[in-house]
Amino acid sequence: MQKDKILIVDDEADIALILKLQLEDAGYETVRARDGVEALEAVAQEPFDLIMLDIKMPRMDGLEVLSRLKGDETPVVMMTAHGSEDIAVDAMKKGALDYISKPFSTDDMLQKVERAIGIDRTRKENARLSQQLDEERRKMEAVLQGMADLLVAVDLQGRIITWSRQAARLLAAEGESLLGKTLEEVLKAEVPGGELPARTVLRTGEPRLDVGYLLKIGSLTVPVLSSAAPLWNANGELAGSVEIIRDISKLKELEQEKEDFVSMLSHDLKSPITAVVGSIDLVREAKLGPVTPDQSEYLNAAIESCEEMVEMIDTLLGIHKFEAGKMKLNFREEDPSLLINRSVTKFQTPAQRGAISLFATLPPSLPAISADRSSFSRILGNLLSNAVKFTPEGGEIEVSADLVQDPAPVLAHVPEECYPGQELPREGEFVRIRVRDSGVGIPQESLGSIFDRFVQARNRRQGKTRGTGLGLAFCRKAVDAHGGYIWAESEPGAGSVFTLMFPALPEEEDE
């Protein structure tokens, strides 16, 4: 541990020697200067933790030295002869920390030395912390002034205590301050529920994230997305809240462009495909002349490709409608066995073409479910289409169904990425439908992401055909709309099992 270094400035050699011995015995390191001139030279060469400065010396006295020293950098304790205390007090007014009257006791001297060094350290630490605080404050001000978003922070009464430059520019009149105004005075808004997010935080102490509302800025009504968080004091007590508001007008415009684009897909692209299919049908039906078997085969393949294109467009449109809340579903009580058999029958031809065994394993009876027949058929259709694509010749595809009366053990196999544990039911009856294939399988790391849009498992991108990664995304949206659950279990090379679970309708009691 480095010793504190003290500069002793005294022209009396015996007193300087006594001080040196006493201070070094107490654990300090000392250097002696015989007068004020030598003292200034010593200070210029190296730093000291304390200067013990005699007042009366030849060439330059202690007061002159004190005036030339930077008292905020090196603490000074004056030494004066008995009876000159008034001079020492005057020296303290000029920057000295303390004084010692000669002759002095060792204990008193050491106590004042230790106190002076401690005061100086505290002063320097406070100065360092103050400088650090100023730097952090300047950084925060720079962040606030550079933010493109609106930011307002309020105290417990909801009165504004700080704000960003953008908030001042848009929410305050020219030359007006926002300080002390209430949230409601500054943020004139149409908020769902009637309470601004920052107010909710003040009431609950919990963050409020991604709240959309309409903010009135001058004569304009602007759609915004807002998040608010609590502000805590050093004791962990709620001291206020801060709300950050983002203008999402451009995002709304992009959403509208997206809707227009999807509408274009559903109309402007399907129309020419319909014309193509019609033209091919004319040729295939020999309306324009004889058609050979080989030509007929190619024409059939062309029609199938067109149908796949229409299916892709319909799937993308369906996903968009689900996300926009515009998908119209007609829920009715349906027999799941009947719907499953229809889908299996529809895919028998492509399965046989690929030398794949496709069959259904169903119990004698299943409870009814509430389903939209069209979207339910598309769910099974997408799963069976994928199974056919990724199952090699000689493989098999099985569609099975049963009644699950205790869902907890079954849902324990659901990947965490698909559904957080708290979203899964622990009771109730469900109709479980499984589509099992003996295909290439899916890597474990992909099981949680394959239901995202435009995502395909790595090994499935190398299958017999390439997909868009939209089919399973549609399945997830449609199953969610039915109040059900969907997930996959698989091992590469060992096939896959896609599981669907739909709430079973209670059986009507006989009167």
- pLDDT at residue 461 greater than cutoff 50: no
We find that the CATH architecture of domain 147-247 is 2-Layer Sandwich (3.30)
Q: Which residue has the tokens 């324009």?
A: 288
In the Cβ-directed half-sphere of 414, how many Cα atoms lie within 13 Å?
24
CA dihedral 446, 452, 456, 457 (to 10 degrees): 0
Which range is most confident: 81-85, 122-126, 228-232? 228-232
Q: In this predicted structure, what is the pLDDT of residue 383?
A: 92
Q: In this predicted structure, what is the pLDDT of residue 1?
A: 65
| β-bridge pairing 76-81 and 50-54 | parallel
- Rounded Cα distance between 13 and 315, Å, is 100
Q: How crowded is residue 271: how many other Cβ atoms within 10 Å of its Cβ?
A: 10
- Rounded Cα distance between 162 and 167, Å, is 10
- pLDDT at residue 459 greater than cutoff 60: no
Mean of per-residue pLDDT scores for the chain: 84
Indicate the domain borders of the chain: 5-126, 147-247, 252-323, 329-503
Instruction: Specify the higher pLDDT residue, 261 or 95.
Output: 95
Helices (H) and strands (E) in the chain, counts: 16, 18
pLDDT tens column, 131-185: 887 777 776 666 656 556 788 899 999 999 888 888 888 888 777 888 888 888 8
Query: If phi over 0 gives left and psi between -120 and 50 gives alpha, with beta otherwise, what is residue 289?
Result: left
Q: What DSSP element (H or E) covers 151?
A: strand 150-155
Chain CA centroid to CA 89, Å = 61
In the Cβ-directed half-sphere of 62, how many Cα atoms lie within 13 Å?
28
- pLDDT at residue 456 greater than cutoff 90: no
Q: In this predicted structure, what is the pLDDT of residue 463?
A: 47
Query: Mean pLDDT throughout 399-408?
Result: 92
Query: Mean pLDDT throughout 447-476?
Result: 65
Q: In this predicted structure, what is the pLDDT of residue 256?
A: 74
- 329-503 homologous superfamily: Histidine kinase-like ATPase, C-terminal domain (3.30.565.10)
pLDDT tens column, 350-378: 899 889 999 999 998 899 999 999 889 98
- Rounded Cα distance between 173 and 169, Å, is 8
We find that the CATH architecture of domain 5-126 is 3-Layer(aba) Sandwich (3.40)
Q: In this predicted structure, what is the pLDDT of residue 278?
A: 83
